[in-house]
Amino acid sequence: MTQRATDDHYSYTLYADPETARTFDDRRFGGPIGALVATSQAKVLVDFIGRIQGRTILDVGTGTGRAALLMAGGGAKVTGIDASEQMLEVARARAAEQGAAVVFRVGDAHALDLPNRSFDVSISLRTVMHTPGWRACIAELCRVSDQLVILDYPSSRSVAALQSAARRLLHAAGARTEPYRVFSHAEIAEALKAGGFSVRARHQQFVLPIAVHKAIGSRRFTLGIERLLDRLGLRKLFGSPVTLVAERCRIS
C-alpha cells in the first residue's frame, strides 16, 4: 500500500500485519474465482503494455509482487515499491523462488523517491482505492512514467459503491475493515490529464460483485452470467473493477 501520509491509516496498519501479508494472495486469488480474477488481470496487463521485453516498469503498491513478477517473467526490468515491509518480504521470497531479478523496496506512493520519467511504464493495482491521497498518487505515477500509466479502481456506477458505503460505516463504528473509495471514470481521467496523460483504453471486469461470484464459487457460472450481462450492455455501464491504460500526451 502507500506510506506515511497518515501513519494510523488502515492502508498502513492492516498491511503491516505479518499474517495479513502471508495470507493475502490466498484470500484475494484463492479458489476458482480468485484464479479467474488473477488470470484476467494478467491478460489485461499484457494486452495494455504490449511489448514487455526490455522495458523498465515500476509497480507501485506492489504488495506481494504479483504484477511485478509477471512483468519480470516477460523480460522487463522491474522495480516494486510498497509501504509494507511485511508484504515485501513475501514478494522477495516469491521472486527468489522464481529466480526473478525484481528490485523490491519500501517507498511512499504519495512522494516517490525517483526521477521524472525514469520508467517506461508505471503500474498501480488496488492502491488508489485505499490510499489517503489518491490524486497525489496518480500525479506521482504520471511524473515517473515516460510512456504509460496503468491503474485500477472500483467504479462509482457499480455495486461496489454500496459495499464501499457499508464498509465506511463499519470502519467508523470501529470494525477492522477496508473502507475503500469508489471513483467515476471522469475524475480518474481528469487526474491523469493533470499529469499529462490521456486514457487510451479501459477494461471493466464484472457486473456482479466479486464477492457474489466467490460465494457461488463456480467458474462456469461466473463466465456464463457475465457473458450474458455483457451482451445486454451492462458491463460497459456497471462493470467493475476498472483497469485502464493512459499514455503520455504528445506536445504538438
Residue boundaries of the structural domains of the chain: 10-248
Element (H, E) at 81: strand 77-82
Instruction: Give me the tens of pLDDT residue by residue for the chain, a chain 252 residues long.
Output: 444 445 677 777 778 888 888 998 998 899 999 999 999 999 999 999 999 999 999 999 999 999 999 999 999 999 999 999 999 999 999 999 999 999 999 999 999 999 999 999 999 999 999 998 999 999 999 999 999 999 999 999 998 888 878 877 877 777 777 778 899 999 999 999 999 999 999 999 999 989 899 999 999 999 999 999 999 999 999 999 999 999 999 875
The sheet carrying 197-206 orders its strands as 103-106, 77-82, 56-60, 119-124, 145-153, 240-248, 197-206
- C-beta separation of 44 from 243 below 8 A: yes
Instruction: Provide the CATH topology of domain 10-248.
Output: Rossmann fold (3.40.50)
Which residues are CB-contacts of 244 (< 8 A; sequence separation ≥ 6)?
150, 151, 152, 188, 199, 200, 201, 202, 203
Cell of 129: 482505492
**3-state secondary structure at position 105:** strand
Helix 134-144 / helix 185-194 crossing angle, nearest 10 deg: 50
Which residues are CB-contacts of 132 (< 8 A; sequence separation ≥ 6)?
2, 5, 6, 9, 11, 110
Dihedral sign for Cα 222, 224, 227, 229, please: negative
Which amino acid is present at 142? C
